[in-house]
Amino acid sequence: MQSKIPVKVVFRQSPPIGGISGPLVGAMADAFNKPQVMAIMPYHPLPEGMKGNDMVAMLSEGGERNMVHYPTIIKNTVPSTPEFYNDLLYEMGELGGYEVTIIQCTNIDHLLRRAERINGDKAPEELVADESDDDAEFEIEEVTIELDIVNDDLDTDAGFDSDEFKEEWA
């Protein structure tokens, strides 16, 4: 049996549509009331350069895969409930080969979300979990800035004699 791919997912759905009326609405109530559910995978690898543009991977029911702009998709959707995302969760787990961990969008580490993964590199999650860098050495560089300041801009309209307040600093 092939091992499943671990993935952290935020389930979101389209907001409810209001103000629809008419004779067909009663007959098609289920179609109108069922929101579009999407699985946003904030840490999933994307093509080079896409994560820096705030893009994330997204799956929808039926196996539709997209890349979406993270701030926009969060702004235009609402959190999904198990009642709506269970079908997509089953599809991802049983048919897609994912081991899904459900997270909230408020729990996302945005630095980790934007981290690019280059072929051969460790996944961002592995880099954060790697504790072998405890012995890392830091180099501290001391910087000194020397300035020569002349008070040429102290001449104001306050009635002071500008020559009286003009001095050179060294």
pLDDT of residue 67: 92
Length of the chain counted residue by residue: 170
pLDDT of residue 148: 62
* Res. 118 pLDDT band, cuts 50 70 90: low
Q: Which pLDDT belongs to residue 111?
A: 84
pLDDT more than 90, % of the chain: 29
CA 38 to CA 73: how far, in whole Å?
A: 10
- Identify the pLDDT of residue 83: 92
What pLDDT, on the 0 to 100 scale, is given for residue 107?
84
Give residue 44's pLDDT.
Answer: 87
DSSP helix/strand/coil, 8: strand
46 or 141, which is more confident: 46
CA atoms within 13 A on the CB side of 47: 3
> Shortest CA distance to 110 belongs to which of 136, 149, 74, 161?
74
pLDDT of residue 151: 55
- 67: tokens are 């890349």
- Check whether 78 has a pLDDT greater than 80: yes
Predicted pLDDT at 38: 94
| Mean residue pLDDT across the chain | 75
pLDDT in the model for residue 16: 73
